[in-house]
Amino acid sequence: MRERILVTGGAGYIGSNIAAALCKRPATDVLVVDDFSSGDWRNLVHVDCEVRACNCDDPALLDEIADGAFSAIYHEAAITDTTVMNQRLMIEANTNAFAMLLEASSMSGTRVVYASSAGTYGNSPAPNKVGSGEEPENIYGFSKLAMDRIAYRWYDRHPAPLIGLRYFNVFGPGETHKNERDGNKTASMILQLYEQMKSGRNPRLFKYGEQMRDFVYIRDVINANLAALNAPRSGVCNVGSGQARTFNDIVHITAETLGIDAKIEYMDNPHTFYQNHTEADVSDSHALLGWQPEWSLENGMKEYITLLEKGHRGPLETA
């Protein structure tokens, strides 16, 4: 029998990569749902799936979920721009819609894998571990923490596992549309710095480039999502590399890969909610998913930059 899997936000960066990977599985049909407010149709040109333009809390879609139309749901739809300060808009789009999706999926007993975020930790001391230091610094991080809390309240009542994946700083193919649509402000720092350096500009960093982030390659993120299809129980887990690196490291690796010299311009940081150090504790991820990161920052960046140099713009599986 063929299985049918729903991917909300499937025209976006991570959603399109998940959809492309699922389409490679035998006997699997994929429905991508997206409102196309931030996703891009070009991410799906080479992904053989059904596409529907609607919100993830569309009543007709919720009815399909409740009726058991899908064997699993990947919920990636969200406002992901961390500079959005409209609290009601963020909660309605991220938290309320998720609550409605969970209620519908409970009626059919459909597994839900959803996108949470390292933004739930704010500036709590690293390493970041699920269940501690959950002190978000902005409304985006709070909306994701609220989603995790809603899911937790369903654990004992939902017939199928609910798995939240707290993404750290994801980079890799499939995010090109972000630097075309919104001026690069939501693209990974790796893509932003690559574009700056390719155009002949000096890379610009907040003073003095020693902020540390857990950069995780999209291959590892895809594998974590696929592993979640077989998770035996509900839970939230981190999806990161498990190792923090500086923004200066990103510049140096990019310059070395491109074979150019780079003079960094340092500037003041205007954001009071800026995360200065994130690093995923992935021990729970291994226990729940049987997954652990495999790609180093250097290896991921070199593959990514090679694909960018070839002009590749879509999800990894379409390269």
The mean predicted confidence, pLDDT, of the chain is 95
Q: Answer left, alpha or beta for residue 184, where phi above 0 means left and psi between -120 and 50 means alpha.
A: left
The mean per-residue pLDDT over the stretch 259-287 comes to 91
**What's the pLDDT at 274?**
77
pLDDT at position 181 is: 62
Q: Which domains does the chain have, with CATH numbers?
A: 3-173+215-241+278-294 (3.40.50.720)
* Cβ-contact 90, 79 below 8 angstroms: yes
Give the residue numbers marked as catalytic. Answer: 140, 178
Quick one: pLDDT band at residue 177, thresholds 50, 70, 90? confident
Amino acid 82: pLDDT: 85
Whole-number pLDDT of residue 272: 75
Cβ atoms 191, 253 nearer than 8 A: no
CB 171 within 8 A of CB 253: no
Residue 1 pLDDT class (50, 70, 90 cuts): confident
Q: What is the pLDDT of residue 33?
A: 98
Q: What is the mean pLDDT of residues 179-184?
A: 59
Q: Six-digit token pair at 7? A: 């991917």
Q: Are 57 and 30 in contact (CB under 8 A)?
A: no
Question: Any idea how long the chain is?
Answer: 319
Predicted confidence at residue 271, as pLDDT, reads 78
Percent of the chain with pLDDT over 90: 92
For 283, residues 6+ apart whose C-beta sits below 8 A from its C-beta are: 129
- Mean pLDDT over 89-115 rounds to 98
